[in-house]
Chain A
Amino acid sequence: NAGVMQNPRHLVRRRGQEARLRCSPMKGHSHVYWYRQLPEEGLKFMVYLQKENIIDESGMPKERFSAEFPKEGPSILRIQQVVRGDSAAYFCASSQTGYRSEAFFGQGTRLTVV
C-alpha cells in the first residue's frame, strides 16, 4: 500500500508562470489536505478537500491559488502567475475519515520561483 505520493518533488518556475502540484492520496482515503511550509517555519493549512468538494479553503490566498480533487485522479494545487514569495515546500496529507483520524503526509513538493 503506497503512501501519499506527491509530484514533482522539485519544481522550478519563472515569475509569472503556472505551477501545478499533484497529490495522490493513500488507497482508501477520500480526504486531502494541502499545507505550505516556509524554511524554518511550521506548516500552514491551505485547503481541505473531499472527492469533488472543497470543504474548507480558509487558508488559501484569495487570488492565484486553486485546488481540486476530482472523482478520478490526483488532487491538484494550482498556483497561477507565481511570484518569488510562493517559493516554499507544499505538503499534501490524506486521511480516511477526516475527523480525528491520522493524517498521512507525502514527501512534499519544493517550489522555487526564479
Chain B
Amino acid sequence: QQQVKQSPQSLIVQKGGISIINCAYENTAFDYFPWYQQFPGKGPALLIAIRPDVSEKKEGRFTISFNKSAKQFSLHIMDSQPGDSATYFCAPNTDKLIFGTGTRLQVFP
C-alpha cells in the first residue's frame, strides 16, 4: 500500500483561505480517484471523486484536479471553514480502495 503518497501530513488554514492536498500514485491501473473525509470517532465518508477521462471536477467549494501523466490528483477546498476541519484521505482504486496516509486539516476562525 506504499503505492499512494499523500501530502502534506497536516495543514493549518485560516477561515476563508484555500486548502490544497495532494496525492501521488504509482499504479497506472487505478481508474477511480476519490477523496474521503473523516471526522474524529467516525468512519470516512466520500467527499468527491473523479474518473480519469476528465481533468477537473468541481462540487461546491471542493475541486479535484487530475494530472494523469504525472500520476497525481489534488483536492482544493475554497473558502475553507472551521467545519472542514477533519482528516482527508485520497483513495485511488480499481476494485478496492487503497488509502493515502491522510492529511489533518485545521481551519481556524
The answer to whether A and B interact is: yes
What is the interface of chain A, defined by CB distance below 8 A to chain B? 4, 33, 35, 41-45, 48, 55-56, 59, 91, 93, 98-100, 102-108
Residues of chain A with a CB closer than 8 A to B34's CB: 102
A45-B92 Cα distance, complex, nearest whole Å: 12
A42 and B99: CB pair below 8 A? yes
- Nearest to B32 among chain A residues (CB) is A100
B96 and A43: CB pair below 8 A? no
Residues of chain B with a CB closer than 8 A to A42's CB: 6, 89, 99-102
Q: Measured between C-beta atoms, what is the minimum distance from A35 to chain B in Å?
A: 7
- Nearest to B103 among chain A residues (CB) is A42
Q: Measured between C-beta atoms, what is the minimum distance from B49 to chain A in Å?
A: 7
By size class, the interface of chain B is: 20 to 34
A107 and B43: CB pair below 8 A? yes
A45 and B96: CB pair below 8 A? yes
A41 and B95: CB pair below 8 A? no
- Nearest to A110 among chain B residues (CB) is B41
Residues of chain A with a CB closer than 8 A to B42's CB: 107-108
A2-B101 Cα distance, complex, nearest whole Å: 29
Q: Knowing A91-B43, A107-B42, say if A43 contacts B95 (CB, 8 Å).
A: no
A81-B66 Cα distance, complex, nearest whole Å: 44
Residues of chain A with a CB closer than 8 A to B26's CB: none
Residues of chain B with a CB closer than 8 A to A98's CB: 95
A43 and B99: CB pair below 8 A? yes
| For the complex of A and B, 3 pairs with smallest distance between CB atoms | A105-B43, A100-B32, A43-B99
Q: Say yes or no: is B1 at the interface (Cβ < 8 Å to chain A).
A: yes
A107-B26 Cα distance, complex, nearest whole Å: 30
- Nearest to A101 among chain B residues (CB) is B32
